[in-house]
A and B are shown apart, each in its own frame.
Chain A
């Protein structure tokens, strides 16, 4: 299978502090891939480099074979790289529908228009509503984000990313902070994500990781420790040592 997203020797340093070191990584088309590692392993730094929020110190970044290392975050999104955030970045006082419509309008190329009212762009509203319907959020379309339970807010994050029609979707801890009663609906949505989208999930919750991923990469102190199927990773002594400590031996 061909890699839709690939990094070659990606490095990031802040002065003398190296937070990512020679990360070479391949995400196959349509894959369900997880990136795990203890706190401070550099997972979010890696995602921020992929999306362009952080510039790598060195290394290559390819999306569909094209070097996107010098592109702006917006240009990367236009080429099919979508993401969700670990901490909610939704517009809290705005309706659920509007949160999704902003992204859909940008993709449709109508977001820079000045003369017609936003309200008159029916195609944007209908597509946004359709997305919410798919994720079971149609009843909440008119509600403000601040009035939604946290689990549903996380689903809105995913709806926004799906509205961009990405080739690659980066999910940064989609279930973080979600009460256990609500995490079921997030897992259901993850299971139903379109097969043509390659998904990279960064997650601490191992139940979510082992249920969702076909392949897992373990990141420790900014370096790739190992990569393999869930069974291989579960049996890897180095991974156990990282998560459970030296005494485990």
Chain B
């Protein structure tokens, strides 16, 4: 769990940080029947990482992060279904560029505001994107969604198979790249500045930090990562539905991150894992009331574990250390 950042923090990867990767590779061999769920979890972990970067490390509150996820998914989907571009890396690149541009343009307005105004603006931008996608039926498929997405083999060699093996490994590879980039940012001087802005903006102004510019940079980077996650969803599902731009997607993502632990890097790993597995299990057992289980879980976390599951684990470890 990364809590200590700044000029005194050791940036080397600790052994425990390899645990998620070992677990993900083990799951590939041990749970072959769950690979499509696994790919979905990995995609959402990448999406949650992008949110943690702005919410957990820079303190930007948003309920509209689905706008970037959605635009990434639609750009990849439209390029493939309508223009015949099927190269997966090219689609990811285009999605990242589109989401990053949207992040820059909307961030330029959003980041001049604070608190509730900021929250409402992020919500409004996601709602606008949703409505545009809804109305532009000839391009996006509208309420029926965008089908006909075809993806060429990765690097011309690895074809997406019906068992989801390639999709899982593709998601894992991109998540690793996203994790590496996010971790690099967190441990950099830029990351230390972001943490400072989150904690005390007035102080950062007083030491000469161009706060707005730094926030805009991280907002655009986060949007790009979210866009890649969206494109990944389009590539692995070969379909894009309107829900990728919806408020529910942003809300669910926020719940996942709170569940795992905000501003802890690995909270973005634990949250989607627990949430999506719980959703899968509960939906099978109680098809009508599965949301009740998710709600109960969130209430318990908010009441008894403010720092999320990782916060609870931290507190437990500290208590054990004090006893020994």
Given contacts A102-B196, A103-B208, A111-B209, contact A128 B189 (CB under 8 A): no
The answer to whether B8 and A112 touch across the interface, beta carbons within 8 angstroms, is no
Question: Complex Cα distance A216/B202, Å?
Answer: 28
Would A91 and B200 count as touching, CB distance under 8 A? Answer: yes
* Residues of chain B contacted by A94 (CB below 8 angstroms): 6, 199
B6–A77 touching, CB < 8 Å: no
Any chain A CB within 8 A of the CB of B7?
yes
B239 within 8 A of A: no
Contact residues, A102-118 vs B (CB, 8 A): 102-103, 105-107, 110-118
In the bound complex, CA of A94 to CA of B202 (Å): 16
Residue B249, interface by CB 8 Å = no
Of listed B10, B188, B196, residue having the most chain A CB within 10 A: B188
CA distance A119 to B164 in the complex (A): 41
Contacts of A120 in B (CB 8 A): 11
A114 touches B190 (CB 8 A): yes
Q: Is there contact, CB below 8 Å, between A106 and B192?
A: no
The answer, among B6, B202, B206, B210, for a CB contact under 8 Å with A118, is B6
Kindly state whether residue B9 has any CB partner on chain A within 8 Å.
yes
State the main secondary structure of chain B at its contact with A.
helix
List, in ascending order, chain B residues with CB within 8 A of A106's CB.
193, 207-209
1/0 contact trace for A76-87 toward B, CB 8 Å?
Answer: 011000110100
Per-residue B-contact encoding for A56-94, CB less than 8 Å = 1, 0 else: 000000000000000011100110001101000111001
19 residue pairs A–B, Cβ–Cβ below 8 Å? A74-B210, A77-B207, A89-B203, A95-B6, A98-B192, A102-B6, A102-B207, A105-B192, A106-B209, A111-B209, A114-B185, A115-B188, A117-B9, A117-B184, A118-B9, A118-B192, A119-B9, A121-B189, A125-B8
Q: Residues of A at under 8 Å CB distance from B? A: 51-53, 72-74, 77-78, 82-83, 85, 89-91, 94-95, 97-98, 101-103, 105-107, 110-121, 124-125, 128, 142, 160, 163-164
20 new A-B contacts, CB < 8 A, other than A113-B190, A121-B7, A124-B189, are A72-B205, A74-B208, A78-B208, A94-B199, A95-B8, A101-B7, A102-B204, A102-B209, A103-B207, A105-B189, A106-B207, A111-B189, A111-B192, A113-B189, A115-B184, A117-B9, A119-B8, A120-B11, A164-B207, A164-B208
